[in-house]
Amino acid sequence: MLVKAVLAAVLAPVAVTAQLHQLAVNAGLEYFGIAVGESAVQQDTTYRNLVNDKREFGQLVPENGQKWDSTEPNRGQFNYRNADIVPNVAKQNGQLLRCHALVWHSQLPGWVNSGSWNRQTLQSVMEVHINNVMGHFKGACYHWDVINEAINDDGTWRPSPFYNTFGTDFFALSFRLAKAADPDTKLYYNDYNLEYNQAKTDKAVELVRIVQAAGAPIDGVGFQGHLIVGSTPSRSALATTLRRFTSLGVEVAYTEIDIRHPSVPSSASARVTQANDYANVVGSCLDVAGCVGITIWGFTDKYSWVPGTFPGTGEALIYDSNFNKKPAWTSISSLLAASAKPTGGQPITTLTTSTRSAVITPPPITTTTTTPAAPITTPGNGPEQTRWGQCGGNGWQGPTRCQSPYTCQVLNPWYSQCL
Q: Which residue numbers are catalytic?
A: 149, 256
Q: Rounded to the nearest 5°, which phi and psi values hold at 49?
A: -65, -35
* Pairwise CA distance, residues 50 & 32, whole Å: 14
Gap between the Cα atoms of 202 and 2, Å rounded: 40
The closest alpha carbon to 375, from 383, 365, 385, belongs to 385
Integer Cα distance of 252 and 208 in angstroms: 12
